[in-house]
Structure 1
């Protein structure tokens, strides 16, 4: 069962959610800048983070049907909508970037979701997954949306991406401050982040992993013991979904 859209909206409207958004959005900005000239889609509940990409040529906020959706952005033409996790209303190779936040942990079939992301990305397209970290405090304390669904370890995320024909490029972690609503703690959130990144880099509350669409697909699905992996260009990308 998906977290309800109103729960996300309430969390990110709180001081704790605002602090989390500020930390994660800052990291995203360091990786993709303002997204100048790019077509970017978010999936899950990425709305608070898509706002970072002020230079993007196009921004879409997609949400799974069971979650619900709210109008986004405020004061402009709506760019938010409900989609099937496995069938996005976009043609092949139409996006430069995809950002997944609160989208993977509760996905019933994460492999199919990532293959759909592969389909809609251009040949040099990239995806960033922001997912709750299994070893982080945020996935253990049931007071925020980051505790919902299945948290991930770095190696599991990397395996999921490789299976979906992505090449991991970069990883980071964030949210080292504990998910408590103390005003004193929230004012010190940035200090917690600096200390955590330096002293406990493997214990952040979320993992952030960037990967690039891989056009070199492995031959066959099963690898025999001792056999070398053979790779070749993917001759045929996934075909467009036929919709009535």
Structure 2
């Protein structure tokens, strides 16, 4: 029964959820290796990933509409506050870094979440978004909360960020393969995952992580896309008016009555001629 969807809170308390969060957080640490002395806010259900980021000097806080144990049942790992992603109870520019995991969920319009995240981010702050890839990402992540999130392409998320006055800076990927065989990814991915397991485990293969091998062998084919974004007030794009004009209406047509009748000697009526 791997297709039964668990809530993010209950999923990240299971062994599969802990392994999934560790692999996503490993990709986040490649982008943000040093977070000492910074304040980091997790939006959505990011507490499990936040537990792997930063050090003792990092001030971490998770904001989610769901309550419950944080970071794999460790209540003291990351403090949690219950809040709506579209209305965060923080002042402007309160955090240095923001991590969005399962924040967009199945939203058809991600702009309220992205704009609210940009509001509580400092002027020189950075935002890190983890979303499933549209390239069969949700199919490979069945049985995880990512399967219920809206899948994106790089072009689509770039347009959404631009509408929220954000600019992508760096990209990365994670979860090229399911965490282990039988995770609901189908027989093909299950057989490949079983091969990696026999070679030395899903987390490593002769010292190299599976995701690192995937980035070298098939870049762009991961299940989860990670994008780091910064503020950019010059990248906003105008919203379409919705009342599009047909191409024929843009053709210049003569106004009614502009054409006049000509005589046989090609002299228009009504025009004064010299004697």
* TM-score normalised according to structure 2 size: 0.69
The equivalent position to 1:69 in structure 2, one of 62, 67, 70, is 67
Instruction: Give the secondary-structure state (helix, strand or coil) at the position aligned to 1:197.
Output: helix
2:137–2:224 CA contact under 8 A, matched in 1: no
Q: Which of 1 and 2 has greater Rg?
A: 2
1:133–1:139 CA contact under 8 A, matched in 2: no
For residues 144 and 124 of structure 1, do their structure 2 counterparts lie closer, same or farther at Cα, with a shift above 3 Å needed? same
User: Which position in structure 2 is the counterpart of 1:188?
Assistant: 202
Task: For structure 1, list consecutive stretches of 5 or more residues without a partner in the other structure.
Answer: 224-244
1:121 Cα shift?
A: 0.7
Instruction: Give the secondary-structure state (helix, strand or coil) at the position aligned to 2:161.
Output: helix
User: Which position in structure 2 is the counterpart of 1:239?
Assistant: none
- Separation in 2, partners of 1:206, 1:150: 11
Normalized per residue, which structure has more strand? 1
1:4-43 paired onto structure 2 within 5 Å: 7-43=7-43
Mean alpha-carbon deviation: is it higher for 25-34 or for 144-153? Answer: 25-34
For residues 215 and 37 of structure 1, do their structure 2 counterparts lie closer, same or farther at Cα, with a shift above 3 Å needed? farther
User: Which position in structure 1 is the counterpart of 2:110?
Assistant: 110
1:210-221 paired onto structure 2 within 5 Å: 210-216=228-234, 218=236, 221=239
* TM-score normalised according to structure 1 size: 0.77
User: Which position in structure 1 is the counterpart of 2:221?
Assistant: 203
- Separation in 2, partners of 1:215, 1:119: 13
- Separation in 1, partners of 2:94, 2:22: 29
- Separation in 1, partners of 2:179, 2:136: 10
1:173–1:205 CA contact under 8 A, matched in 2: yes
1:149-188 paired onto structure 2 within 5 Å: 149-178=149-178, 180-181=180-181, 184=194, 187-188=201-202
1:178 Cα shift?
A: 2.9
- Separation in 2, partners of 1:163, 1:204: 25
- What CA RMSD, in Å, does the superposition of the two structures yield over aligned residues? 2.8
- Separation in 2, partners of 1:199, 1:48: 28
- Separation in 2, partners of 1:218, 1:156: 14
User: Which position in structure 1 is the counterpart of 2:84?
Assistant: 84
User: Which position in structure 2 is the counterpart of 1:236?
Assistant: none
1:220 Cα shift?
A: 6.0
Equivalent residue pairs, number: 217
1:71–1:79 CA contact under 8 A, matched in 2: no
2:171–2:226 CA contact under 8 A, matched in 1: yes
- Separation in 1, partners of 2:143, 2:238: 44
1:118 Cα shift?
A: 1.1
